[in-house]
Amino acid sequence: MEKGRVNRKSQRAQRGENGKRGEKEKGKGKILRVDVEALSKKYPIFIGELPKIELKGKVAVITNPKVGGLHLSYLLQRLKGDEVYIVTLPDGEEYKNWESIQYGLDRLFDHKLDRNSTLIAFGGGVIGDMTGFLASIFLRGIKFIQIPTTLLAMVDSSVGGKTGINNRFGKNLVGSFYQPEVVYIDTHFLQTLPPREFRAGMAEIIKMAVMFDRDFFEKIERGSISIEEAIKRAVELKAWVVSEDEKERGVRSVLNYGHTFGHVIENLTNYRKYLHGEAVAMGIAMANRLAEKMGLLTREEGERIENLLRREGLPTYFPVEDPEEFYSHFFLDKKASQNRLKFILPDGIGKFKIVENPPKGVVIETLEEFPKGAKG
């Protein structure tokens, strides 16, 4: 472990400020519970060793070849259903599309799943998003469970019920809000997570800290928090946000800090060059510069955030070839309403401000600070 990075040694959980949570004994370890109280459904998130899961009816585990090869036996040892089927979808953001959804639907019909059946999302964010979408449209909606296997999915996409796919116009433009029955977060899966994907997950944790919790940010900065504690705190914050605003009418939009820029980066690079967390990290750096120009963030605070991202091994510089073209892509984002842009910006560290329709010239000036050919 490099000095200052998140401490990956387990430590006993401490009570947080947001989210309802409790602990119960399981063998020698602890299982933490965080409750999401969304308007459409209340459900628990369990953080700890994966328990025995007994389900009635048919079960389809949706996974990808990599996760299935590494961890499927671990899951199946703990899973019981009337009939259990495995549906394997391609791995990668570029496969988060209608073709994969159609393939998944065909397999569910082949196996004659019905409205008493359950889907299990067993993978990272791509698998989670597609499984949730499949569950929401198959027979007009069946139950599903999230078992995330990447850090990014554990702290972000598995919690909150956002499901969907990409198309040629942008990211996650087709989908639904559809909550799982339960989320199981087991850090066992992080043992085989490639370092690059672990770093991508850290971008989402840092995002949550900058937006909502200065003390959390400073603990990460000092390296005085374990990865288990960081996951718990990020999940508590996400659960609170979803409970307050399930369908992104208000405070939930704050989770898009770094994403407005990051989604354009992903789109311009055809979702192949960068992991989602890497694009978010570069988007955070861009959002910080815009916040500085609008008097919300000092350069010193911006440098602290970007230094922390870099220390965790994340990129903070995307070379913008054409600022006007980049700017035009903002309007393909689902968060643009009636040709009005919305940016989530830090108001110092630990607070946020939602800025609607900032002057185009200021945004273009921000993009011009990231010229192609310059070193980030």
> Is residue 231's pLDDT more than 90?
yes
Q: State how far the Cα of 376 lies from the Cα of 263, in Å rounded to an integer.
A: 19
Which is more confidently placed, 9 or 299?
299
What class is the 20-192 domain?
alpha beta
Each domain of the chain, given as residue ranges in start order, spans 20-192, 195-368
- Backbone phi, then psi, for 71, in 5-degree steps? -130, 0
pTM: 0.86
Q: Do domains 20-192 and 195-368 have the same CATH topology?
A: no
Nearest alpha-carbon partner for 207 in 222, 220, 194:
220
pLDDT tens digits for range 30-60: 889 999 999 999 999 999 999 999 999 999 9
Segments of 149-214 assigned E as strands: 162-167, 170-177, 183-185
Strands of 183-185's sheet in order across: 20-26, 29-37, 42-47, 183-185, 143-148, 118-123, 58-63, 83-88
Neighbour tally for 81: CB within 10 Å: 18
pLDDT tens digits for range 143-197: 999 999 999 999 999 999 999 999 888 888 899 999 999 999 999 999 999 999 9
Fold of the CATH domain 195-368? Dehydroquinate synthase-like, alpha domain (1.20.1090)
> Is residue 16's pLDDT more than 60?
no
Dig out the tokens for 154 from the structure.
Answer: 């554990």
- The residues that are catalytic are 140, 162, 204, 238, 248, 252, 256, 259, 263, 276
Please report where in the chains the tokens 């977060």 appear, as a residue: 185
Instruction: Give buried/exposed letters for 15-38 (b at 16+ CB in 10 A, else e).
Output: ebebbebeeeeeeeebbbebebeb
Looking at the chain, the whole-number percentage of residues with pLDDT higher than 90 is 82
Going by pLDDT thresholds of 50, 70 and 90, the confidence category of residue 9 is: very low
pLDDT tens digits for range 303-352: 999 999 999 999 999 999 999 999 999 988 656 556 789 999 999 999 99
Neighbour tally for 177: CB within 10 Å: 18
Nearest alpha-carbon partner for 44 in 126, 158, 134:
158
> What pLDDT does residue 334 have?
59
> What pLDDT does residue 271 have?
86
Neighbour tally for 59: CB within 10 Å: 23
